[in-house]
Amino acid sequence: MPFGIDALVMYLAARDGRLFWMYPLLATAGSLAGAALMFWIGGKAGDAGLHRFVDAARLEQFRSRVRTGGALALAIPAVLPPPFPLTPFVLTCGALRVNRWLFFPAFALMRLLRFSAGAALARIYGRGILRVFESDAFQLAIVVLIGAAIAGTIVSAVLIWHGMQARPAPAA
């Protein structure tokens, strides 16, 4: 869910000022694990298989950015907030066989910077952030977003399942 981890890091950092430095580390580790999975899936799909995961226009834009941008092009998306589509970018990096020893340290550093900035702001403005997060309107919005995420996951799973069923069987 967009901003979900950011909001959680900020909420936890605002609630517990003594441990505010730990939450960005944990969020970065989780984000790195998710990116590793997406990178691996992209590597398995290969450049030819990416069209199943990423639409053609966006795919070509990512290919160009990954091939020509160097380490900076790999690091910047990790710090950008939604709606930047990070998952397709990581899939593309895996499919294009980007050097993982360059990709993952840059990715981790930028995610750590992003989550640390949120935790630092929460440490400074803790009471105000807690008031917002604990308000009825905010909690209702979270429930609606969780419902939408669950519905979207179910719809995606059904579409993927039907797509797998529609594939012709391999010739013997």
DSSP string, the chain: -TTHHHHHHHHHHHH-GGGTTHHHHHHHHHHHHHHHHHHHHHHHHHHHHGGGTS-HHHHHHHHHHHHHHHHHHHHHHHHPPTTS-HHHHHHHHHHTT--HHHHHHHHHHHHHHHHHHHHHHHHHSHHHHHHHHTSHHHHHHHHHHHHHHHHHHHHHHHHHHHHHHHSPPPP-
Question: Is 70 exceeded by the pLDDT of residue 171?
Answer: no
Question: Is 70 exceeded by the pLDDT of residue 167?
Answer: no
> What is the pLDDT, as a whole number, of residue 32?
95
Block residue for tokens 């430095």: 21
Question: Is 70 exceeded by the pLDDT of residue 98?
Answer: yes
Segment 93-109 mean pLDDT: 88
> What is the pLDDT, as a whole number, of residue 139?
87
> What is the pLDDT, as a whole number, of residue 170?
55
Question: Is 90 exceeded by the pLDDT of residue 169?
Answer: no
> What is the pLDDT, as a whole number, of residue 71?
63
